[in-house]
Amino acid sequence: MTALPMPGGLPAQGAAALCAVLALWWTAERERGRRRARALLALPSGAGAPWAAAAARWWSVARGRREWLCLPVAALIALLGASPLPLLAGAVALPLVGRGLRNARARREREARSDGVVALCGAAAGELRAGWQPAQALAFAARTTGALGDQEAAVLAAARFGGDVPAALRRAAQQDGADGLAGIGACWQVAVDGGAGLAAGLDRLEAALRAHRDQRERLRAQLAGAWATVAVLAVLPVAGLGLGAALGARPLHVLLHTPAGLGCLAVGAVLEAAGLWWAARIVRGGERP
């Protein structure tokens, strides 16, 4: 058996691409440190090469939208494999990765808003016990916690000028993660109509919301092992490619330049995507209350 011919320029191209990425990262970090030093020491901002400023701007954009990092990684793999297919895969993965990052960001915002509602209940109850009027306690708690979000002005205006506070709180509860505000509106309505203590109702609501949050955290801790399994399944093909390259089998050349390799690559990509989707669907199903 004869060994496959190895293009002599591929290692040099890969090293050059890696050096270019590292130089770009180093330049961006240096420019950011220079801007920080100017801000601290009040230095003039005229120094610096245009290419360094462009690199810093690109890095700031890439850090804000991390899905764009798929393109440099795909370009590096395309250089190593001497094929445009990795670039095409990177372009296809760009919106998918962006969607996943946006979903994760929305989930963090939802959980932060839910925690803010719990803090709002506790702060308002504490101010009511200190002798404040309900409108004043709600205004102080809302400004302290920021749990009302975009509806803060409407709710505080209704509380200050005698409007329909429960209706305003129910509208604010339509925000993602702010369901507990509807409970605050119900406590407010019961306290106004029936003369019940608002602080006691807010205490009970806070305890219920806190118990729900603790249950969610316990469930997430129990599912951490399942998510780790999903991550291992995602990394296994990359580890296999690295092991094959270390053994001298040249897996990128076989996958990108031979008909059998292209067929295996297509089938493997479909099976990998289906497996990750199915495993993530099972784990997310377990996260639902």
Structure confidence by residue, pLDDT tens digits, 50-97: 555 555 565 565 566 777 888 888 888 888 888 888 888 888 888 888
Q: What are phi and psi of 77, to 5 degrees?
A: -65, -35
d(CA 229, CA 280): 10
**Per-residue tokens: 232:** 């291992």
DSSP string covering 138-151, please? HHHHHHHH-TTGGG
User: Is pLDDT larger for residue 183 or for residue 45?
Assistant: 183
> Please, which pLDDT band fits residue 226 given cuts at 50, 70 and 90?
confident
d(CA 81, CA 252): 5
Please report, to the nearest 10 degrees, the dihedral formed by the alpha carbons of residues 135, 141, 145, 150 taken in order.
Answer: 0
Nearest to 200 by CA among 90, 108, 96, 121: 121
Task: List the chain domain ranges.
Answer: 113-211, 223-289
d(CA 41, CA 53): 20
Query: Is residue 45 pLDDT above 60, yes or no?
Result: no
Query: Is residue 201 pLDDT above 50, yes or no?
Result: yes
Query: Is residue 279 pLDDT above 50, yes or no?
Result: yes
pLDDT given for residue 34 in this prediction: 59
> Please, which pLDDT band fits residue 46 given cuts at 50, 70 and 90?
very low
Average per-residue pLDDT in the chain? 79
Average pLDDT over residues 257-267: 90
> Please, which pLDDT band fits residue 100 given cuts at 50, 70 and 90?
confident
> Please, which pLDDT band fits residue 27 given cuts at 50, 70 and 90?
low
Residue 227 and residue 287 in contact, taking contact as beta carbons nearer than 8 Å = no
Per residue in 217-252, is it b (16+ CB within 10 Å) or e — as a string? eeeeeeeeebeeebeeeeeeeeeeeeeeeeeeebbb
User: Is pLDDT larger for residue 1 or for residue 123?
Assistant: 123
pLDDT given for residue 267 in this prediction: 92
**Per-residue tokens: 133:** 């009027």
Query: Is residue 2 pLDDT above 50, yes or no?
Result: no
d(CA 82, CA 14): 10
d(CA 179, CA 166): 13
**Per-residue tokens: 89:** 């895969």
CB atoms within 10 A of CB 188: 22
Query: Is residue 148 pLDDT above 80, yes or no?
Result: yes
> Please, which pLDDT band fits residue 240 given cuts at 50, 70 and 90?
confident
pLDDT given for residue 118 in this prediction: 92
Region for residue 134 given its phi and psi (left: phi exceeds 0; alpha: psi -120 to 50; beta: otherwise): alpha
Can you say how many angstroms the Cα of residue 282 is from the centroid of all Cα atoms in its chain? Answer: 20
pLDDT given for residue 4 in this prediction: 44
Sorted by sequence, the CB contacts under 8 Å of residue 95 that are 6+ apart come out as 67
Per residue in 36-58, is it b (16+ CB within 10 Å) or e — as a string? eeeeeeeeeeeeeeeeeeebbee
Q: What percent of the chain has pLDDT over 70?
A: 76
